Amino acid sequence: MKALSAIAANAALSFLILISTFAVTGAQERTCLRGVNIAGAEFGGYEGPYGESYIYPSDATLTWAASRQMTTIRLPFRWERLQSKLHSALDPAELARLKQTVAKAKQHDLTIILDPHNFAEYRDVKIGQGSVTVEAFADFWRKLGSEFSGDPRVLYLLMNEPEGVTATTWFKAAQAAILAIRGVGADNLVLVPGTIWTGASHWFDDQPGGSNAEIFKGIADPANNFAFDIHQYLDADFSGRNATCPRTGDALKALEAVTKWMRQYGYQAHLGEFGGTASHDCLDGLAQVAAYINDQSDVWIGWTAWAAGDWWGDYALSLQPQDSIDTLQMTVLERFMTASDGSRAICGAASN
């Protein structure tokens, strides 16, 4: 996408009207995991050197996140960098970078969602194919799970946006990973995505073996401390790759259907990704989605918008401040970060 400047110029005036139209309600008190993705550690080829191919969040970015009253960040990284060979020990240097980032974020009173940003694959091979077995995936989480075991400020997202695998295959991998995490004594909150990019708009889609809705109603967690990870963009094809957001209404209907499903089965969810450009319809959509999630706090434990990050440059969905000035998207979202009295929201871990 192109730079934000042209779109932002057209949106600025109407934006001033927009932000006053959405009430910030008391329901936010319980929907408390609110923040952004901070991209960078998943960038580049998995063999590229640190500082050239990829980067973890800077101190300045973490400070900015906390200053905007965020309570959480979603931290993408690459499985292949943290575990260079399947079934091997975790890479000491990469693990140290991850742990350092977690420690710095915690200093800012942020909760961290660990996000292996791999789309259900390892070195371009999907989970369940060849050497990338379900057990290999479980082994990865057995090792990573033990590193942050029992830390309530560290949440385990099993995988970013699984795609190219069926719900039945992914269910087996997710279930094995949960059991591996619990097997090392880690009771951290686990976030479980579905397939087809875990989109709310795809939750009920037919696929071989059954839809996400059909398959994942049977997920089991011995610690009973998990929520589903759901994504939903607002553009024409729900990809987040287009400059406008004409399908906010359809996106909200999809979120409503998922919310109903969660209530039916007694589950909770977290909106791990949603986002848009600085066009007026995207700003409007961002506000509507954040307001909806906050208002459905019996189901939704929070949200992380896509995305901040030190290396975004002119990426149209960037939430990273430019020359110390927040983007229009961030200015919209900040109104939904805080509790109803304007203070930083506080919450405990979710459980089902």
Cβ 34 vs Cβ 345: under 8 Å: yes
Kindly state the helix (H) or strand (E) to which residue 211 belongs, with its residue range: none
Q: Select which of 42, 94, 121, 273 is catalytic.
A: 273
Kindly state the helix (H) or strand (E) to which residue 305 belongs, with its residue range: strand 300-308
Name the phi and psi angles at 111, rounded to 5.
-90, 140
Q: Select which of 29, 121, 161, 334 is catalytic.
A: 161
Q: Could you please report the per-residue DSSP string of 264-282? A: HHT--EEEEE----SSHHH
Regarding beta strands 125-126 and 121-122, do their DSSP bridges make them parallel or antiparallel, or are they unpaired? antiparallel
Q: Which residues contact 318 (CB under 8 A, 6 or more apart)?
A: 4, 307, 308, 309, 312, 327
Instruction: Record the tokens describing residue 9, joined without a space.
Output: 């110029």
Residue 216 to residue 347: CA distance in whole angstroms: 26
Check if 214 is active-site.
no
Cβ 71 vs Cβ 110: under 8 Å: yes
Check if 273 is active-site.
yes
Catalytic residues: 161, 273
